[in-house]
Structure 1
């Protein structure tokens, strides 16, 4: 059963029309990356899938179930883990207490396994959230989501503000998730690193999908990768035309 199928999402914040007919899929065991400049609608897409900002129109199917109007709690109950931008850990709770917050679902991930996968968290299990580095906070945020034993993991900007070595470590953890059979939808500004681990890529511009295809093919298009931060639908359309002419 396909973990995620999104069709025709139209999402608004008040009167502001943010997502325009957004559609995407995540197959079983895939890492799919959603790219685009700031304000393109990437976080809104994740929030629409999770039921935090319900779409006005369109459909979200999770494991074949229509989840379009479900609450975030119900979406999580289907087996979806969500790691929001900015980590959102509890600053005054210890690492161990942060890990006790989620209501654990049956499955292979428990606190013991989390500490085996994230030895740095095991070393700092008695430290409060505010005492952790940015990378450790990101690891804690991912670890907390894993305790739900998700079949699909949504990650919003996991590399934001992290040093390059820590970014590499976080992305290795994401690759481990795929090996564990967890499908991943990754929103990320670090274009090159994310394309390096993803199977497929989508690019959003002004709330609309302007690219859908192989991550490896996109990674090999130097011009597109360099211009990703400021990509516009017009520029990408010109690029498609030029590619067709070559």
Structure 2
């Protein structure tokens, strides 16, 4: 069964044609990354999948159920968790209180298990959200969504604003979540980090899919990665050189 199937998605903001026939698939247990420059339509793709910016035409299926015209809460009820850009945690609540906000849903993810996956959050469970670093806030946003026990997780730019070393920590957690059996669609500007953990990659350019294939193969093409990644690739390379003693 496919966790997610998007077919011929066309989405507009007013008269602006943002998504122009987008097709993509996430198989069960797969981590897929959707790459592209700023303004390519990556976040709009997620918003269209979640019903937040409904597509004008095309189809979205979640675990073989047609979800194209459903409201966001109904799509979430199909087993979709969404971590939006900007984290949106509760700044005045503690880590522990943030984790108690989601409605309990049956499944493997509990607060105790989340603390095992995110030991840094366990160490800061009594700290308020505003006291956390950017990386810790991102981990909290992911952890809070996991407590809904989603079968499909949508992540929008989890590395945004984070230092390269912290990005590595966050991406290890994302890979671990996939290893636990959760299907993931990852929208990411940091191409180098994304292709290291993803199974497959799509590249979106001006609202159209221009590449589909193995993430590892895409990552081996330096020219292609740098054309998309820009500064993100340079920062990632600097980090790798430091770790290698270069």
Q: Structure 2 length as normaliser, TM-score?
A: 0.91
Residue correspondence of structure 1 range 125-144 to structure 2 within 5 A: 125-144=125-144
In structure 1, what is the equivalent of residue 244 of structure 2? Answer: none
Q: Using the alignment, how far apart are the partners of 2:153 and 2:174 within structure 1?
A: 9
Q: Using the alignment, how far apart are the partners of 2:229 and 2:50 within structure 1?
A: 25
Structure 2: give runs of 5+ residues left out of the alignment: 231-246
Residue correspondence of structure 1 range 104-115 to structure 2 within 5 A: 104-115=104-115
In structure 2, what is the equivalent of residue 189 of structure 1? Answer: 189
In structure 2, what is the equivalent of residue 52 of structure 1? Answer: 52
Structure 1: give runs of 5+ residues left out of the alignment: 231-246
Alpha-carbon distance, 1:104 to partner: 2.1
Q: Using the alignment, how far apart are the partners of 1:147 and 1:73 within structure 2?
A: 16
Alpha-carbon distance, 1:162 to partner: 1.0
Runs of 4+ in structure 1 displaced over 2 angstroms? none
In structure 2, what is the equivalent of residue 17 of structure 1? Answer: 17
Q: Using the alignment, how far apart are the partners of 1:101 and 1:12 within structure 2?
A: 33
In structure 1, what is the equivalent of residue 243 of structure 2? Answer: none
Q: Using the alignment, how far apart are the partners of 2:106 and 2:143 within structure 1?
A: 15
In structure 2, what is the equivalent of residue 146 of structure 1? Answer: 146
Supply the RMSD in Å over aligned alpha carbons: 1.0
Q: Using the alignment, how far apart are the partners of 1:31 and 1:161 within structure 2?
A: 22
Q: Structure 1 length as normaliser, TM-score?
A: 0.91
Residue correspondence of structure 1 range 53-132 to structure 2 within 5 A: 53-132=53-132
Cα pair 2:192 2:229 within 8 Å, conserved = no
In structure 1, what is the equivalent of residue 173 of structure 2? Answer: 173
In structure 1, what is the equivalent of residue 237 of structure 2? Answer: none
Q: Using the alignment, how far apart are the partners of 1:121 and 1:229 within structure 2?
A: 30
Alpha-carbon distance, 1:123 to partner: 1.5
Alpha-carbon distance, 1:220 to partner: 1.0
**Secondary structure of 1:7's partner?**
strand
Alpha-carbon distance, 1:166 to partner: 1.1
**Secondary structure of 2:60's partner?**
strand
Deviations 1:125-161 (A, max 9, x none): 1111111100000000000110010111100111111
Cα pair 2:84 2:156 within 8 Å, conserved = yes
Cα pair 2:6 2:25 within 8 Å, conserved = yes
Alpha-carbon distance, 1:15 to partner: 1.7
Cα pair 2:32 2:198 within 8 Å, conserved = yes
Alpha-carbon distance, 1:229 to partner: 4.4
